[in-house]
Chains A and B, each alone.
Chain A
Amino acid sequence: MPETATLTQRVLRHPLLWPVLALVVLLLINVVVKPNFFDIRMQDGHLYGNLVDIVRNSAPVLLVALGMTLVIATRGIDLSVGAIAAISAAVACTRIVGAGDEAALTTAVLACTYALAVCIVLGAWNGFLVSVVGIQPIIATLILMVAGRGISMAITDGQITTVRNGWFSDLASGYVLTLPLAFIIALGVFVLTAILTRRTALGMLIEAVGINPEASRLAGVRSRTIIWTVYAFSGFCAGVAGLVIAANTNSVNANSLGLWIELDAILAVVIGGTSLAGGRFSLTGTLVGALFIATLARTIPNIGIPSELNYLFKAVVVIAVCLLQSPKVRALFRVHRRGPSVPVLAKGSAA
């Protein structure tokens, strides 16, 4: 009996059960408050509605969180993503403004490519500090977090740079196949990451490095290269997110662009069930986490609370998620909920 767990047992044990439930509860709250919350209408070939907005607004956090998931899986953390996003936007916008033909498609493509290249270099710099110099990830990325906004302001010369390029603003407000382009991009990066990590050995190697860097090095895993790669990837993701955010307002404000997005991204990763201690990671969990954060941001004004109080709810979510993940609290619950005979059965069915 324990070997063939029933469907309900499998659902109950699924690591994504709680994040998905939380998301569903949040959506239900919205529907109860405003019954027409789920309404989606078609206009000019685009979909409009709250759900579409949520999906579009989740794109930057999802992008950053994807990079963050891999970094966290290697036992690291990347605090510099907000600053990298600001640098990416600053580079792209100044390139577009400085180009000969400001509104051309090639201008936008070249500027974005250039910005993303800069971001990959910045990410690789973080990776260099962590893997070669051997600085703790929090500190190594803190350096760029502190300096990055200054660099971004140096690029834009401390001004709010505004761009007029239809192709660039399509990054945030454009639609492809009736869906927001921003979300398609985020989803594209998600699928690409999932294929790269789950269809090749890369995912396993990343988990190996996160679980025990020394042992994986002795087993022949090039942990240095892997750590380097994940930080560069995180830089790339942050860069794309920065472009999407800048395109949303058609401008870049180096001071506020992507402010605290690193914290939102970490929150999304944690909600998705990836442990901050490194090792196993769940990209789907991160997707759910990012959607949860975007839904939360939408829910709060919807149920009539000022949107600034978002922070208060985030604090509650952080504490709740951490307490749920904490082994001590889990042990406490287990003792109260079930008898002592159950762990034997649980062990058997897990095998």
Chain B
Amino acid sequence: MSASTATVSAGSVWDRVKGYSPPSRFLPVIATLALFIGLFALGGVRYEGFSDPQVLLSLLIDNAFLIVLAVGMTFVILTGGIDLSVGSVVALSTMIAAKTLQMGWSPYLSMAAVLATGTLLGLLMGLLVHYFDIQPFIATLAGLFLARGLTYLISVESISISDPTFTKLAFKTVTFGDYYLRWTAIIALVTVAIAAYVLARTRFGRTVYAIGGNESSAMLMGLRVAFTKVGVYVISGFCASLGGLLFSFYILSGNSLHAIGTELDAIAAVVIGGTLLTGGRGYVVGSLLGVLVLGLIRVLISFDGTLSSYWIRIITGALLLVFVVVQRFATRRQP
């Protein structure tokens, strides 16, 4: 210990910078960050107006709901589970918001109803997973069907949101000089910050990693496995409904066809962000970067103009493949 401090203090700042190698657990996140910067640089070189900071801020605004979904998904995947229901819960949230506002509820009451519904659905799925030993895949599959069915039950047709308070909230912006950010994006960033704090600094967060590492060991260590395992699905359900709320701010309508396949985007973002799908390793910041990488690809394609939108899916799939294969070989080397 003392020897290493001595050598470090002896060298110049440049030596320290040169000799610094980040801990290997941060490598996936750094790889995603490098990918993001590389893509942004590519766009900046190729297209005029791409390097404008507002492009980055718009990226946050457009993907605010997906960021929140990915945060919830990160918790679930860190425990080794998966949540397929988030896309349907987003649709259900937009529908509940639209319907209750149409019925004349106060916007705040309506938001509370949305968040309560998502959290309750998450709780139900968590209970199914933990207490009845149903595989997360199947339990959340039931959640997917249930939420989509409830959405249709409320209304088969699209309902638009015209409540003045709600729309005012949706377009509220914060300006930094010439640039602006909507409140929805700030909520998403705050969610990331809170989630990062919970995972890194609280007992709950450490238990999440422990369960992902080895559930029976976590149980034998006397950690609160049941509470945490149900808890991550509650968090994911809450995040899904919060994401749904942000999505209704963004799109201002409730529709049972909203957000089909969004669960795949969220899972892809988490994987591209460097979280191990077997659980136990990963960071929320990585998921944020994963969403931004996916969003940037979308922006690049729209700037290009010659590529069709379906390339987004193909490129997402290819990125997913690269990250999964690299993860596979990276984890194989470690004991």
Contacts and interface: CB of A to CB of B under 8 A. Distances in A.
Interface string B129-156: 0011111011101111110111011001
A133 B329 CA distance: 9
A314 to B, nearest CB: 5
B310 interface: yes
27 contacts: A138-B277, A139-B271, A139-B324, A140-B324, A142-B264, A143-B324, A146-B320, A150-B312, A150-B314, A150-B316, A150-B317, A154-B314, A157-B308, A263-B141, A266-B141, A309-B149, A311-B152, A312-B150, A313-B149, A315-B142, A315-B145, A315-B146, A315-B149, A318-B138, A318-B141, A318-B145, A327-B133
A318 B140 CA distance: 10
Interface in A270-286: 270, 276
Nearest to A322: B134
B152 A306 contact: yes
Closest 9 CB pairs of A and B: A147-B317, A312-B149, A150-B313, A311-B149, A315-B146, A153-B310, A315-B145, A308-B152, A150-B314
A136 B277 CA distance: 9
A202 interface: no
Contacts of A25: none
B160 to A, nearest CB: 19
Interface residues of B, number: 46
Nearest to B139: A322
A143 B152 contact: no
B225 interface: no
Interface of A: 77, 133-136, 138-140, 142-151, 153-154, 157-158, 254, 259, 263, 266-267, 270, 276, 306, 308-315, 318-319, 322-323, 326-329
A161 B175 CA distance: 47
Given A135-B324, A136-B278, A146 B139 contact: no
Contacts of A314: 145, 149
B137 A158 contact: no
Contacts of B189: none
Contacts of A311: 145-146, 148-149, 152
Nearest to A254: B310
A310 B149 contact: yes
A322 B150 CA distance: 20
Contacts of B27: none
Most B CB atoms within 10 A — which of A148, A266, A322? A322
Contacts of A319: 128, 142
Contact of A153 (B267, B308, B317, B318): B308
A315 B152 CA distance: 13
A306 B156 contact: yes
A143 B312 CA distance: 13
A135 B331 CA distance: 11
Interface string B231-269: 000000000000000000000000010001000100110
Given A138-B82, A326-B133, A328-B133, 12 more contacts: A135-B325, A143-B324, A148-B317, A157-B308, A266-B138, A306-B156, A309-B149, A310-B149, A311-B149, A312-B153, A315-B144, A315-B146
A135 B144 CA distance: 25
B141 A147 contact: no
Contacts of B131: 328
B311 interface: yes
Interface string B299-335: 0000000001111111011101100110010001000
A149 B311 CA distance: 10
Nearest to B138: A322
Given A144-B317, A150-B314, A154-B310, A312 B142 contact: no
Contacts of A150: 310-314, 316-317
B328 A134 contact: yes
Contacts of B152: 306, 308-309, 311-312
A139 B323 CA distance: 11
A149 B141 contact: no
Nearest to B150: A312
Contacts of A323: 132, 134
Given A306-B152, A326-B132, A143 B314 contact: no
Nearest to B260: A259
A316 to B, nearest CB: 8
A314 B143 CA distance: 10
Contact of A158 (B135, B310, B317): B310
Contacts of A144: 317
A149 B314 CA distance: 8
A319 B271 CA distance: 28
A313 B150 CA distance: 10
Contacts of B146: 311-312, 315
A77 B332 CA distance: 22
